[in-house]
Amino acid sequence: MIRTLFSTALLLSFSLTYAQQRGFEQYQPKAVKEIIQKNLRRSTPTFLPEIEKRYQWNLINGDWDSTEVLRYVYDNGELDTIRITNPVTDAPIAREIHTKTPQLEEVLRQTYTGSGYENESRRQVFFNQFGYLIGEELQTWNNNSWETTEGFKTILEYNADNRISTAEMQFWDTQLSAWLTEVKYFIGWMNDGRFDGYLLQVPSEDGTLEDYIRIDAQYSAAAIEADTVYIEIQFMGTWMEVARYIVSRWDNYDDILAAEPVSYIEQADLGSGYTDSGRQTRVDLANGGYIDTYEELNEDNIWVIASTEEVAYNENNDLLYERGYDYGSGVQMVNYWDNFIYTYDVQNRRTEVVFQSYDFDAQGLANQTRSVYPQYIDVTSTTAVKPTTIKAYPNPSAGLVQVEGLKSGVQGRIFNLLGAEVLRFQAQGENHTLDLSKLPSGVYILEAGGKSHRLVKQ
């Protein structure tokens, strides 16, 4: 209960609001910066997959059934389109159109009907000018228009030092067709830039926000990171101190809003003082991975493993496997066990991904899905990708602007120089007309199809 409470209070929302460090590097310990740079190196491959073959495990014949083939198309090194076909007949099944700009990532899925492609679904992920994830929408095509089916939104406010001061998390309620507040945070900072804690509010029965949880971050004399965290809950109008975490190690402490204590002692206070209730340790593996083990005290006051998580890399910093076990509250029985296995060839290209889950009847791992990558594109080759550009005219313009170079269905957005979105559109074809007449005079940035273009409104 205490661990779940802490996770809810400290991580639930901000696990969705990770930073791309820009604008916040002054708060990062040096060691974390090195980890970030290592991850950046890992995320810039020399080869990009061109073909992926997907399979589903057949329990009856005990073998893999081929389900579909994916062909990846790139534009100037960025994923542009995925064509999905039948593995036997090579007939088209669907396609995905990918758009990536600094403030938008979109995947538009279209289904092949026999005579052409029709919209099916759309996933949009939004970022603000600092690189923070601020929203995601999942939509389906219904009655010739997009209908939101799921999503979240993060509304951030900043203080004079560009530190986040409030964060309100909203979710899309399908029945009400409206955005509803889930939680709101008021974040505190010390004068020297260190995290000071926060107040969490949740909606009451009448819809107004009320105080719920309070976090107090404490530092010892030599600590750069908070080494003791106190948790208080408001009960019947009174703040009650219910737990504390003595933290010896954090994960992602460069971004405290997404930070997670990974080596700590968890203590509960039920009215008679703090007593140990749980503990977690992280052990680093030689290959750059780690093992997290969480333990709880059982009724006999004996430490028992409740869950473990393991991640490992090879000598080239490529992910080898991810696996997790959850035994429940001190009960030595597996609740879930997911296992992702990755393999690579001698050129360090990923060749296979296998996903397995725990089978309770068989008491072991069972194959679920498999992807095979038989063909790659060398991105160092000048012929591997072909850059394209957006053309817009007249520019400057007092109103209508013709935009060329976009694919039909691609999402486009226009931002002012402060990074605020002022207009959104969906391209109707390679030639699309924009109406800027309602915008104030000034300079704007058009982002669409992974490309940017400068516009001037007279």
The pTM score is 0.71
For position 427, what pLDDT does the model report?
Answer: 83
- 89-103: average pLDDT: 89
Q: Model confidence over 43-76: pLDDT tens digits?
A: 456 789 999 999 999 999 999 999 999 999 987 7
For position 32, what pLDDT does the model report?
Answer: 36
Q: Which residue has the higher pLDDT, 32 or 346?
A: 346
- 8-30: average pLDDT: 30
For position 89, what pLDDT does the model report?
Answer: 95
- 165-172: average pLDDT: 92
For position 10, what pLDDT does the model report?
Answer: 36
For position 27, what pLDDT does the model report?
Answer: 29
Confidence tier at 15 by pLDDT (50, 70, 90): very low
Q: Model confidence over 223-237: pLDDT tens digits?
A: 888 999 999 998 888
Confidence tier at 241 by pLDDT (50, 70, 90): confident
The distance in angstroms from the start CA to the end CA of the chain is: 59
Give kind and range of the element (H or E) at residue 42.
Answer: helix 30-42
- 387-409: average pLDDT: 79
Q: Model confidence over 20-47: pLDDT tens digits?
A: 222 233 223 333 333 433 444 344 567 8
Q: Model confidence over 197-221: pLDDT tens digits?
A: 989 999 998 889 999 999 999 999 8
Confidence tier at 416 by pLDDT (50, 70, 90): confident
State the Cα–Cα distance between residues 117 and 99, nearest whole angstrom. 18
Q: In this model, does residue 4 exceed pLDDT 70?
A: no
For position 334, what pLDDT does the model report?
Answer: 59
For position 132, what pLDDT does the model report?
Answer: 77
Q: Which residue has the higher pLDDT, 275 or 380?
A: 275
For position 41, what pLDDT does the model report?
Answer: 38
Of 132, 98, 101, which is closest to residue 13 (Cα–Cα)? 132
Confidence tier at 418 by pLDDT (50, 70, 90): low
- The average confidence (pLDDT) of the chain is 81
Q: In this model, does residue 173 exceed pLDDT 90?
A: yes
Decide: 32 and 254 in contact? Cβ < 8 Å.
yes
For position 428, what pLDDT does the model report?
Answer: 79
State the Cα–Cα distance between residues 190 and 197, nearest whole angstrom. 9
For position 333, what pLDDT does the model report?
Answer: 57
Select the CATH number that applies to the domain covering 388-458 from these four: 3.40.190.10, 2.40.10.10, 2.60.40.10, 3.30.420.10.
Answer: 2.60.40.10
CA distances from residue 330 to 82, 130, 277, 325 in whole angstroms, order as listed:
45, 42, 11, 13
For position 419, what pLDDT does the model report?
Answer: 61
**DSSP assignment string, 180-241:** EEEEEEEEEE-TTS-EEEEEEEEE-TTS-EEEEEEEEEE--TT-SS--EEEEEEEETTEEEE
